[in-house]
Structures are given as C-alpha cells and as structure tokens.
Amino acid sequence: MNTEARLRINENGRVVIPASFRKALGINPGDEVILSLEEDELRITTMKRRIERAQRHVRKYVKPGVSLVDELIAERREAAKRE
C-alpha cells in the first residue's frame, strides 16, 4: 500500500480518502473519523485506533496478569462499604 496520496480538495472543501487508506484504517461508510492538526499536518484517525493507542501506552506500566478493571471494581466496592 502507498503511504501517501495526492488529492484535490473540491469547492466544498471535501476530499475523498482513497479506498486503500480507508481499508488500512478500518473506515467504513458512515463511520466517524477524528481530524487533528499537529504542527503543520492534518491527521485522520478513528476512535478505535485512538483507544488501541492508549491501551498500548497503558500496557507499558501494567504488570502482566493484572486487570485494571478488577482493581477498579474492588476499589469501588471498598469505597461503597465505607459510605
């Protein structure tokens, strides 16, 4: 897959994301995308990709076999007992 494409913006400010890019990002018709301006570049991603990126970052700090969800639930139950 090419990692760059040259596109024209139409009179309404729209561009068509090439099919190969949509497929690589898992973007389907009707899906919502997230645009961000980073320095002098426009980036397009999906919420799913953002969540996956956040999970990768968090995984660096969590020991294998530890469930943050289970820890949170246990903390909430303890807090509820104290109320």
Structural domain for 39, as ranges: 19-82
If residue 34 lies in a helix (H) or strand (E), which one and from where to where? strand 34-38
Residue 65 is predicted with a pLDDT of: 87
- DSSP character at residue 54: H
Residue 78, token pair as written in the block: 């303890």
- Stretches where the chain sits below pLDDT 70 are none
User: Is residue 11 assigned to a domain?
Assistant: no
Total domains present in the chain: 1
Is the residue at 66 inside a domain? yes
On whether residue 5 sits in a domain, the answer given is no
**Model pTM score:** 0.60
Q: Is residue 28 part of a domain?
A: yes
Predicted local distance difference test score (pLDDT) of residue 68: 87
Pair of tokens at residue 52: 């996956």
